[in-house]
Chain A
Amino acid sequence: MPALYSPSWFTGYDVLFELFFAIISLAIAFFAYKIYTLSDQRPVKLLSISFLLISLSYAARSLPFKEFSVYAHVILFLTGLAILLTATLRPKKATLCTLIAVTLGSLVLISNILLAYYILSSVYLALISWHYIQNYLSNRQTKTLLVALAFIFLFFGSFHFFMSVNHELFYVIGYFLELSAYLLILANLYLVLKK
């Protein structure tokens, strides 16, 4: 049974956070799908799928079935990040196969699935953040900055969940960092929609 390092006073609030993240991710997934139907660009389709899976992962984590919701969240979130990584970094087939093998291998071999999940999601988010930092440096606009900052916050959020093994407060900080990230993603969506 995977262990969560959540302080008891935070129970209930975390569900509200997760539902909020699920709604924002779903909005991005729908909007990306709309952009895909207009532009027919494959990376946009992949982005839409990845945000849909991320949205479902948060929805799953907010469910009251403890063990099922943790496993569903881990699998959906990591798959979503792997697809996002494919859309943004466009790795070669061999690199992608290695990444999938390492991910599946880690989840099977490391006995604490949450520990494996936090390590893997931190690595994925670090790679994705690096892509968005480079994207901002080559195209210095508010929009690109917002997305880069959002993914940096998500990375540090994931890292704080990893640290929560030692201290419960890091778990709460992780949620607030994720909240900042999704607010930035929402702000970017507003800028994109603004004519």
Chain B
Amino acid sequence: MSYLEYNVKTVPAGLRKVLYANWPLAVLLTAVAAIGFLMLYSVAGGRMDVWAEPQMKRFAVGIVGMFVIGFVPIWFWRNMSALAYLGALALLFAVMFFGEEGKGAQRWLELGPLRLQPSELMKIGLVMFLAAYYDWLDIEKTSHPLWVAIPVAIILLPTFLVLKQPDLGTAILLLAGGGIVMFVAGVSLWYFGTVIALVVGLVFGVLESRGTDWQLLEDYQYRRIDTFLDPGSDPLGAGYNITQAQIALGSGGWAGKGYMQGTQSRLNFLPEKHTDFIFTTLAEEFGFVGGVSLLILYVLIVVFCVLSAMSNRDRFSSLLTYGVAGTFFLFFAVNMSMVTGLMPVVGVPLPLVSYGGTAMIILLGAFGLVQSAHIHRPR
């Protein structure tokens, strides 16, 4: 469907767009971000200036950006999809050569005051490009091997680059995020079954390759797997993070220890307490009730996205919304699984809550695309 095919009369224009924005989604996003501010204030020991304040500024920029992107017609973004993907890909290459090193990984590009993680951009670029691809593709060809191979290549190329940084968490998110778009676009389930079988085989291969000269992962990644399988084996070494995170969570109990009363975070037993492990502090201080409440907020965000996508008769818009929602779901689901010990620690932040450079702005930008799709849907 092209611009000309939209019934222009049914699409809101000008300031009327404000009325058609997905407000529940905006409110939910703000609520989650507000919980983030509260927690960042708490883990900083009651200080605004350390994490909470910069985070609020970033959120302000992000939420404005979301509406700006949202008010731009969706077809513009569809036309930009290929550019977004290729741009992110170029930056990923750039980061390999000019990237800043941190914690043994090369992930950032310093662009003046901005600290950019191209892999964050790629999450959106990939979803956009895949949505545009399936919008362009004949529905009958969706499951044709050749037309399946192309998106697989589109996904694997950035995934491979990110894995090289190395950033296992983001690589998994790219893989799964791209997979979700393909899944929703209707690629035959046989392919997914085959991939799952292959993944199982790969996992087996990864474990088998350990210690041989064709070892597939870095040593530290193997250690993380070990630690995941048995965190108690090395409670003060590699298993420390998981053990302490679970102690924090568990000791929170039903209603928590009270705001700013979490001993695990306040006494620095918790690792990365303001980034990847911030959920443990929330669960320690607000207990099961607090943890599940945040989970419900996250689910509601996904639900509102899915509702928007289901009611959207534009294939690109729908796929894009599913893709963004799916990626968002993966974000919090992987993070929570990680800190609750359901998954190995792979370094995925808790979306909108974890303190993080550009991640929040980019995520809100992605929700801007969802807003655009919502506002400009054909009615």
Report if A and B associate in a common complex.
no
List the interface of chain A (C-beta within 8 A of B).
none
